[in-house]
Structures are given as structure tokens and as C-alpha cells.
A = this chain, B = another copy of it.
Amino acid sequence: MVKSIEWVDGKVIMLDQSKLPFEVTYITCTDYLMVAEGIRKLRIRGAPAIGIAAAMGIALAAQDIHARNSAQFMKAIEPVFHEMLSTRPTAVNISWAVERLKKVIKSKRDESVSGLKQILIREAQSILDEDIAVNKAIGRWGAEFIKDGDTILTHCNAGSLATGGYGTATAPMLVARDQGKKIQVIADETRPVLQGARLTAWELMQENIPVTLITDSTAGSLLRRGEIDLVIVGTDRTARNGDVANKIGTYPLSVLSRENKVPFYVAAPFSSIDFSTASGDRIPIEERSPEEVTHILGIYPIAPKGVKARNIAFDVTPHKYVTAIITEKGAFKPTDIRKLSRQNVDLDSIRLKR
């Protein structure tokens, strides 16, 4: 399994994704500032992965703290929380990880300093382990929709690299492969930042899953020709009504899939469902620097100097185009997502079966 980050012998080993796929370099972080720099410089990216990295960075910082008691320890670790929060201020998973670690040490005021240090390592490791467990569960539910011989289309990177391991959209592929099903994957390159070409293609090659790279606008032809059996993409946020926000280009794929009667699945960890947002139209959509469009990989110009460009980073896929949303609790019709917020919901009664 491709590992984006690991805790090994008191150090954090991070795969430098900013150099992929041209160089495979692992960085051994011996202090938390190296971890923070890795997050800031996008050496590690993907919502779950950077949450794990922040937690591991805090655990790493803890080991170097000299304190006589838990009160001193908590005071000493406070700047580390701030440093981690400052790396990518809008990343929900980082603030979630920081809060979780804060809470655990606050609940252990009577613990010795060395005890607290161990607790933080265990907690960071738990965050990683839980993420992998969630993804494997998504994989098991999702693999039910994959038949032997299927060709799966995916967009962007919702793979091992974006998570602690297994990925979200890739998890059903890995589980299906482990179940002995022969599959192949078509990966959209995903302009402008090319996560499909650089990351998804690379990680599926590491997993020995046959992968073919296409430009984003080639997917429509393959769908029309009947060369795609199903589509699986990830999501950044799912609204209460089952609308999903994901990398730009997801919405066109969903429309083309429905038009050609190809099932369109969204892999979404339960934590990415935002029950407080009524519909996708309420999800704020980030517009990023035009240079990502006018320059490839931030370096190579492809357009006239001074041309105006627009770089809408995400799009919203209305729930009517989504066949099912696959979570660690099961696969559900998008219109059933709202029911998941209820106490004592009978999951079995609403789970979608193949």
C-alpha cells in the first residue's frame, strides 16, 4: 500500500508528493517544524492526510518538550498547536486534529509528562489507523458495485496519497482487486493541477492496477462508447440533500454518466458529510490563481502573455446525477443522506445493495 505518512521510531516519514511522479523522495521529519513545512509546501496534501500529519507533528513536538508537570507541558505545547493551525488555515482536518489532541491531554491532567508524550503518539497513530479503517470500510461497501472485468473511471486524486492509506475513491478499487476481481482504471488528468496525471496514475501503477491516462474531455467519448462500467470519485463536502462538491470537472462527468446510463458513485467518509448545509448551492466554491491555468505545473506557459483566465477549483454535482454515496457505514442513495443524521437510524433499511 502506498503510504503518504508514517510514524517510525520516533520520527515522521513523509512521502514528498510535490516531487511526484518524477521523483519518489521520503522526508524524515525529526522535528515538528519539518512536518509543518511539509504541509505548507504541499509535500503532503489531501484533507485526511494533512490532518494526520498535523497530529503526528504535534506528537513529534511533544517528545522534545522538557517540562516538570502536565501544566508546564500543556503551556509548552500550545505554540505547536498554533504553528500547525497556521500551515493551511482553511483546512478543517487540521483544526479537527489539533482539537482532538488538545482534548485528550486536557482530559489527562493527572498523567506524568512522559505519559502525556506517549498518549499523544498513540492518539496520532489512532487518527492514522482510524482513517485507514474508514477507507477500508468504504472500500468494502464500494467493491460490491464492482464486477470482475470492470473498467472504472476516476477524477482527480482521492487515493492513498490524499489519506492515511487506501484512499476514498480508490479504496473500492483496491478491495475489488484484493477480492480477485480483474479491473482497470481510466484516470482523468484533472487540469489545472493535474492530480490525476501526477498522483492517481502513479499510485495505481504502484498497486499494479492497470491504469490509462486521458485528458479530462476524453471521458465523454469513452462513456458514450460504453467503455466505462462505472465512475467513482471522491468529494470534499456532501450537503444534506446529497449534492456533492468535488474537484472541477466532476459535475460534467456526472452529467455524461447519466446521459450514457453509467453509474456514478461518490466515495465520502462520513466526516465529510455536512448536515448543516442544506444543498450544494450553499457550498462556497474557491477560485484560485489564474496562473494554474496559464502555466502548467506553475512553470510552463501555454497561453498568450496577459490573457485573462478563470480558475474555478471545485464544482457542485446535484444529487440527481449521483447513483450512490459510499461511506464507511454503507452506500446510500443521495436522497437518503439526510436520514443518516438521525439518532437510531436503521442503516440496513436504507443501505443500497447491488
Chain A contact residues, CB within 8 Å of chain B: 21-22, 188-192, 194, 197-198, 201-202, 205, 210-222, 224, 248-249, 251-252, 255-256, 259, 290, 293-294, 296-297, 299-312, 315-316
Contact = CB atoms under 8 A, between A and B. Distances in A.
A222 B312 CA distance: 9
Contact of A303 (B201, B217, B302, B307): B201
A211 B310 CA distance: 11
Given A191-B217, A205-B307, A255 B248 contact: no
**A interface, over-half SS:** mixed
A255 B300 CA distance: 32
A16 B50 CA distance: 47
A231 to B, nearest CB: 14
Contact of A201 (B296, B297, B304): B304
Nearest to A214: B310
A219 B305 CA distance: 22
Contact of A213 (B22, B201, B303): B303
13 contacts: A188-B217, A197-B302, A198-B302, A201-B303, A210-B308, A213-B309, A213-B310, A214-B310, A216-B216, A218-B248, A221-B248, A252-B252, A259-B259
A300 B303 contact: no
Contacts of A255: 220, 255-256, 259
A209 to B, nearest CB: 12
B192 A310 contact: no
A307 B214 CA distance: 11
Given A212-B309, A217-B252, A248-B218, A301 B192 contact: no
A212 B256 CA distance: 25
Contacts of A202: 303-304, 307
Nearest to A24: B304
A341 to B, nearest CB: 27
A294 B201 CA distance: 11
A18 B285 CA distance: 36
A328 to B, nearest CB: 28
Nearest to A192: B215
A321 to B, nearest CB: 9
Which of A201, A222, A259, A309 has the most B CB atoms < 10 Å from its CB?
A309
A303 B252 contact: no
B220 A252 contact: yes
Which of A191, A201, A213, A224 has the most B CB atoms < 10 Å from its CB?
A213
A230 to B, nearest CB: 18
A316 to B, nearest CB: 8
Contacts of A302: 189, 194, 197-198, 296-297
Contacts of A304: 21, 198, 201-202, 205
B303 A221 contact: no
Which of A198, A220, A306 has the most B CB atoms < 10 Å from its CB?
A220
